[in-house]
């Protein structure tokens, strides 16, 4: 059976897709990138915001058309949108053959085998994953599932449930598998990495997990994404300061800087706490890159609240800042509030915040010109790029940050290799560098 895959949403969903595909492959399936050549198409949906929901529905409709235009026999929908709206999707999308929420996934393979779409079940390595992208040297390791935070704007707990940590031994085994598959960078992901182990009495916490992963593998780069400020403990800071394979990079989602808005959003931090944690990190881990996320237009946000966010962004000078405009999500506490910030104002605020960050990013990157850096080669760049190859420094995370365009005087650099290069130009979000001999 030929399996086509459409994986939408975050990198945590990508991990889910790789696990599911491994089960299919273990039952005789062959993965194809040509959807019109697939017998079964698996669509891993996203339900985070309205745009993602629409993208998921469009993908399901596109996959369903392959039953007419291609050789497809069945379309399988999984993921967050299915978990959130199972009955609505079944009613509105009769052309989709199977729907599996997270609690239903254990039945997926056996039911497809029952219906003659897969071979009979076989025993698989419990941590096995089939890589679906273009750069196998960059992989993601999801250390926990679900979320215990109750942020007023977020429906993730409604879709993924409460926080559950994965066993340390299982994660070590999976990291070793990723290394064997060619991983040169492993990104640790979860809704909040800092919650790892809190649901297990006397269990290991995030620093112990990271230490175990470093000791059990020789992967050159480990990167931590999505750590709330409360999870930035001294043992974790000490580990980052003393372990060169743990890249000096952290994603700390703040969402806002007005304490009034942070309280309304039901966020666990306040501005003073965020400021203190960032300052401590920068003192303890010289050169650390800090990424964050902000939300504008939440109900009740005034011009003064927004100005406070702008001033805080300018004060903190985050290396990266992603932002999005608020949209009410059904079932969240925020959806019960009057959405009193007009769409035009939300977009204006979003544009202004991103422009402030663009200027900060350009200024920071300009300071890199002339410096010698280590880069991880990702592959060829597009024809219109300022240099023929793509790479990243330690402070450029895969997919979400800028990149380093690379010029090489000789043979093409091999993806997955580390090189020394000198920065020769800075753009707003990217760098241009030349490979050193």
Given a cut of 70, whether residue 262 has pLDDT beyond it is yes
Given a cut of 70, whether residue 125 has pLDDT beyond it is no
Query: Which residue bears the tokens 């009979």?
Result: 120
Task: Kindly report the pTM of this predicted structure.
Answer: 0.87
Beta strands 144-145; 221-224: pairing state: unpaired
Residue 213 zone, left/alpha/beta (φ > 0; ψ -120 to 50; rest): alpha
Q: Provide the pLDDT for residue 159.
A: 86
Number of domains in the chain: 3
- Residue 217 sits in the same domain as residue 359: yes
Q: Provide the pLDDT for residue 182.
A: 93
E-strand ranges in 115-245 read: 138-142, 144-145, 164-165, 185-189, 221-224
Instruction: Give domain status of residue 73, yes or no.
Output: yes
Mean pLDDT in residue range 10-30? 86
- Residue 199 sits in the same domain as residue 328: yes
- Residue 54 sits in the same domain as residue 143: no
Residues in CB range of 78: below 8 A, 6 or more apart: 16, 20, 42, 43, 44, 45, 99, 100, 101, 105, 108
Contact 301, 262 (CB under 8 A): no
Instruction: Give domain status of residue 61, yes or no.
Output: yes
Given a cut of 90, whether residue 25 has pLDDT beyond it is no
Q: Please state, in angstroms and as integers, the Cα–Cα distance from residue 356 to each residue in 252, 270, 349, 370, 374, following that order.
A: 19, 22, 11, 25, 28
E-strand ranges in 297-336 read: 320-325
Instruction: Give domain status of residue 95, yes or no.
Output: yes
- Residue 238 sits in the same domain as residue 384: no
Residue 241 zone, left/alpha/beta (φ > 0; ψ -120 to 50; rest): alpha
Instruction: Give domain status of residue 130, yes or no.
Output: no
Instruction: Point out the least confidently predicted range of 6-15, 232-241, 255-264.
Output: 6-15
Instruction: Give domain status of residue 125, yes or no.
Output: no
Q: Provide the pLDDT for residue 124.
A: 53
Q: What's the mean per-residue pLDDT of the chain?
A: 91
- Residue 201 sits in the same domain as residue 232: yes
Q: Provide the pLDDT for residue 49.
A: 77
Query: Which percentage of the chain shows pLDDT scores above 90?
Result: 70
Q: Provide the pLDDT for residue 126.
A: 47
- Residue 325 sits in the same domain as residue 346: yes
Last residue of a domain, one of 366, 381, 410: 366
Q: Please state, in angstroms and as integers, the Cα–Cα distance from residue 141 to each residue in 125, 132, 172, 234, following that order.
A: 16, 14, 10, 23
- Residue 16 sits in the same domain as residue 99: yes
Last residue of a domain, one of 336, 366, 396: 366
- Residue 238 sits in the same domain as residue 108: no
> Tell me, what CATH number does 227's domain have?
3.80.30.20
DSSP 166: P
Neighbour-count burial for 296-315, b at 16+ CB within 10 Å, e otherwise: bbbbebeeebbebbbebbee
Q: Provide the pLDDT for residue 376.
A: 96
In total, the chain counts a number of residues equal to 437
Distance CA(59)–CA(83), nearest Å, equals 16
Mean pLDDT in residue range 408-433? 93
Among 186, 190, 138, smallest CA distance to 165 is for: 190
**78 backbone dihedrals φ, ψ, rounded to 5°:** -135, 180
The per-residue pLDDT for range 136-167, each reduced to its tens digit, is 899 999 999 999 888 999 888 888 889 999 99
Instruction: Give domain status of residue 199, yes or no.
Output: yes
> Tell me, what CATH number does 108's domain have?
3.40.50.12160
Distance CA(30)–CA(52), nearest Å, equals 28
Instruction: Give domain status of residue 126, yes or no.
Output: no
Last residue of a domain, one of 366, 395, 424: 366
Q: Provide the pLDDT for residue 96.
A: 93
Contact 369, 424 (CB under 8 A): yes
Q: Which domain holds residue 385?
A: 372-435
- Residue 148 sits in the same domain as residue 265: yes
The per-residue pLDDT for range 348-406, each reduced to its tens digit, is 999 999 999 999 999 999 999 999 999 999 999 998 999 999 999 999 999 889 999 99
Given a cut of 70, whether residue 122 has pLDDT beyond it is no
- Residue 360 sits in the same domain as residue 382: no
> Tell me, what CATH number does 424's domain have?
2.40.50.140
Distance CA(144)–CA(133), nearest Å, equals 22
The per-residue pLDDT for range 174-225, each reduced to its tens digit, is 999 999 999 999 999 999 999 999 999 888 999 999 999 999 999 999 999 9
- Residue 70 sits in the same domain as residue 203: no
Instruction: Give domain status of residue 168, yes or no.
Output: yes
- Residue 301 sits in the same domain as residue 221: yes
């Amino acid at each position: 059976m030929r399996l086509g895959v459409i994986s939408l949403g975050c990198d945590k969903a990508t991990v889910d897709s790789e696990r599911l595909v491994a089960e299919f492959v273990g039952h005789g399936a062959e993965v194809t990138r040509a959807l019109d050549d697939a017998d079964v198409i698996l669509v891993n949906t996203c339900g985070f915001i309205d745009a993602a929901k629409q993208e998921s529905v469009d993908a399901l409709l596109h996959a369903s058309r392959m039953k007419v235009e291609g050789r497809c026999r069945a379309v399988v929908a999984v993921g967050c949108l299915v978990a959130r709206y199972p009955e609505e999707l079944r009613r509105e999308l009769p052309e989709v053959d199977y729907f599996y929420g997270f609690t239903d996934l254990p039945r997926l393979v056996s039911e497809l085998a029952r219906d003659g779409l897969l071979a009979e079940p076989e025993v698989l390595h419990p941590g096995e994953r089939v890589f679906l992208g273009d750069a196998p040297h960059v992989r993601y390791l999801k250390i926990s599932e679900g979320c215990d935070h109750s942020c007023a704007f977020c429906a993730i707990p409604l879709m993924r449930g409460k926080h559950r940590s994965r066993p340390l031994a299982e994660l070590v085994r999976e990291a070793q598998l990723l290394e064997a598959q060619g991983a040169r960078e492993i990104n640790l992901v979860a809704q909040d990495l800092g919650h790892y182990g809190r649901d297990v009495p006397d269990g290991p916490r995030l620093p112990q997990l990271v230490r175990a992963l470093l000791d059990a593998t020789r992967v050159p780069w480990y990167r931590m994404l999505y750590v709330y400020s409360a999870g930035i403990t001294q043992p974790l800071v000490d580990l980052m300061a003393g372990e060169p394979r743990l890249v000096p990079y952290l994603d700390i989602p703040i969402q806002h800087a007005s304490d009034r808005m942070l309280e309304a959003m039901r966020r666990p931090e306040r501005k003073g706490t965020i400021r203190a944690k960032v300052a401590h990190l920068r003192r303890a881990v010289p050169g650390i890159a800090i990424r964050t996320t902000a939300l504008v237009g939440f109900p009740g946000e005034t011009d003064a609240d927004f100005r406070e966010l702008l001033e805080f962004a300018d004060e903190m000078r985050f290396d990266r800042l992603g932002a999005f405009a608020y949209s009410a999500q059904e079932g969240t506490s925020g959806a019960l509030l009057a959405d009193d910030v007009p769409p035009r104002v939300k977009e204006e605020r979003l544009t202004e915040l991103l422009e402030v960050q663009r200027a900060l990013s350009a200024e920071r990157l300009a300071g890199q010109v002339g410096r010698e850096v280590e880069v991880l080669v990702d592959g060829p760049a597009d024809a219109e790029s300022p240099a023929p190859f793509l790479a990243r420094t330690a402070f450029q995370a895969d997919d979400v940050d800028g990149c380093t365009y690379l010029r090489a005087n000789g043979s093409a650099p091999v993806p997955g290799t580390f090189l020394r290069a000198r920065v020769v130009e800075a753009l707003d979000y990217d760098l241009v560098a030349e490979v050193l001999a």
